Copies of this chain bind each other. A is one copy, B any other.
Amino acid sequence: MKRYALGIDYGTNSCRSLLVDISNGAEVGSTVFNYPSGVLGILTDPRDPHVARQNPQDYLDGLEAVIKGALAQAKGGDATFDSAQVVGIGIDTTGSTPIPVTKDGTPLALLPEFADNLNAYVWLWKDHTGHAEAAEITSLAAKIRPQYLAKCGGTYSSEWWWSKILHLRRIDPAVFASAYSWVEHCDWIPAVLTGNTDPLTLKRGVCASGHKAMFNAEWGGLPDKEFLAQLDPEIANLRDRLFDVAHSADTKAGELTEGWAAKLGLKAGTAVSVGAFDAHMGAVGAGIKEGTITKILGTSTCDLMIAPANKPLADIPGVCGIVNGSVLPGCFGIEAGQSAVGDLFLWLVNHLVPDSYGSSVGDKFVAMEKAMSGQKPGASGLVALDWNNGNRTILVDHRLTGLLVGQTLHTQAHEIYRAYIEATAFGALTIINRIEEHGVPVLEVINTGGLSIKNETLMQIYADVLGRPMKVSRSEQTCALGAAIFGAAAAGAGELADLQANMTATREKVFHPILENQAVYAEIYAIYLTLHDAFGSKAWNGSLYPVMKKLLDIRERQRG
């Protein structure tokens, strides 16, 4: 009899289910639920663009809707399908997305007295109100706990756990005092499904805590009280109401309660695994293994690698995070990423592409790809920096902006589009080189996310720039697929490695580097790197006089 696992993927604007056959990864059901609250599910404050909150009720309503939807689809596709065949459930979410909760684990936002106060709601990953607190945490850690920073690339972010909690403490001490504890979104959903939302005992994931809350077994878990007290004594006190242990996502968080089982139409006692972040589970769903980098290509990108935890691993400066067990148990998860990729192209097409390319965004992209297809690398004479939204990995600096050089009076929009695709490829290569320089060889690249499936031009340019074959994950929902794999593992349905091998695959079409393009891109990459260091690094000192000359030389050669 077939066995299935359910993966639930909580995104920024919606959540989605994926019901998967654990023997072969066949996807038999998937439903999306758009969060009804706020604007596209985000609660904002017109007075402060940094505010981004969510309503936890949306998560609960979505959970029910997408699971029921997937089960109904499976039944529709195969009348013999029985929901009792679902053996495990896995959860992934965005993060760091912390929720202030009561002593019994109820989100404050669900209590009537806090209904009107956004500070009591869920603090979505992209809430940047804590930027001053992030700088304060970075500065304090640099002074007294440099080891904390070494694992998160050297800078603590405003998107992360402590920045948000400290900011709340500063701006709304009443709500802060009402929050007995805090729970990450990815930990709260398994807690709800398994009926143990007690903040002191619910099973926390090492992915969220390690990457965002500076949790590390090396220093005994969360940051020590002396450190936290220097931020605020109340934050130090909060540490006692948090957790000392964190688990990898193959761990069973618990079993589905009678209540939820009845509500969802599943079997009570179904295994629920510990939660983790979307990109990390997406890496597993894409088929991550030692030597493989998985790239989730979306509005931004998230790159993940693993390295065996039983061997020493050097800190990798500028890389977002290195956490034992955050992707797969027994391995360091190495996270990197680019702040704008799809967003960069969308910005261009929305703001700087005339209608001669088409009247819709989609038509414009198609026409631009067609227009650039006859052009050789370097023929436009352009090079760009991919920093319109800052630089997340390597420079770890949000206060960087875009740059485009090489324009003439003949430069066209599709040439700029290509330059931006190339810039994101150069950014990706810089990340790979940095990881390799620190002892982790990158032997395989597996891409996933919308751009990898829809944009063949981009995939070929990536192959040419990275000098490696570009593989694309078979599933279009690698995050939810990864969650399903962990659900199955938590259910004891097989060894994690076997489950991953059976349930994941890459597509037949592989984009191989074209040697002559690769050689030209090596030249242009040297120029990119000069600009990258010149504008991005305090230490750089030099001359930029050759930049425009070299671009013109390459352009003339490539135009023939």
Name, among A406, A410, A411, A538, the residue most crowded by chain B CB atoms within 10 Å (CB to CB). Answer: A411
* Pair B549/A540 contact, Cβ less than 8 Å: no
Which residue of B340, B404, B541 contacts A409 across the interface (Cβ within 8 Å)?
Answer: B340
Task: State whether A401 touches B355 (Cβ < 8 A).
Answer: no
Complex Cα distance, B355 from A410, in Å, reads: 19
- Copies of this protein, total: 2
Interface contact B416-A389, CB-CB below 8 Å: no
Say yes or no for A547: interface residue by CB 8 A criterion: yes
Other-chain contact of A354, B353, B406, B534, B536 (Cβ < 8 Å): B353
Q: Mark A109-148, 1 if CB is under 8 A from B, else 0.
A: 0000000000000000000000000000000000000000
Contact partner of A407 (CB less than 8 A), chosen from B403, B538, B551, is B403
The residue among A347, A547, A548 with the most chain B CB atoms within 10 A of its own CB is: A548
How many of chain A's residues touch chain B, expressed as a range? 35 or more
The answer, yes or no, to whether A219 is at the interface (CB within 8 Å) is no
Q: Looking at the assembled complex, report how far the CB atom of A380 sits from the nearest CB atom of chain B, in whole angstroms.
A: 11
Q: Is the CB of A560 closer than 8 A to any CB of chain B?
A: no
Of B351, B387, B413, B541, the contact of A412 (CB 8 Å cutoff): B351
CB within 8 Å for A389 and B408 given contacts A354-B351, A535-B547: yes
A441 to chain B, nearest CB (A): 31
Shortest Cβ distance from A408 into B: residue:
B388
For window 392-421 of A, CB contacts with B under 8 Å fall at 399-413, 416
Q: Are B405 and A401 in contact (CB under 8 A)?
A: yes
Asked whether A552 is an interface residue with its Cβ less than 8 Å from the other chain, the reply is yes
Does residue A543 face the partner (Cβ distance < 8 Å to B)?
Answer: yes
Residue A343 lies at the interface, judged by CB distance under 8 Å to chain B: yes
Q: Restricting to A513-555, which residues have a CB under 8 Å from any CB of B?
A: 534-538, 540-545, 547-549, 551-552
Decide if A378 is an interface residue (CB 8 Å cutoff).
no
Tell me the smallest distance from the CB of A134 to a CB of chain B, in Å.
Answer: 17
Which residue in chain B gives the minimum CB-CB distance to A404?
B404
Q: A355-B355, A403-B405, A551-B401 are in contact. Are A411 and B545 (CB under 8 A)?
A: no
A282 at the interface (CB under 8 A from B): no
Known contacts A355-B355, A540-B545, A548-B535; decide if A408 and B401 are in contact (CB<8 Å): yes
- Assess whether B411 is in contact with A347, with CB atoms less than 8 Å apart: yes
Chain B residues in 8 Å Cβ range of A404: 402-405, 407
A552 to B397, CA, bound (A): 13
**Interface positions of A (Cβ within 8 A of B):** 340, 343-344, 347, 350-355, 381, 387-389, 399-413, 416, 534-538, 540-545, 547-549, 551-552
Q: List 12 A-B contacts (CB under 8 A).
A: A344-B409, A350-B354, A351-B413, A353-B354, A388-B407, A388-B411, A399-B549, A400-B548, A402-B404, A541-B541, A541-B542, A541-B543
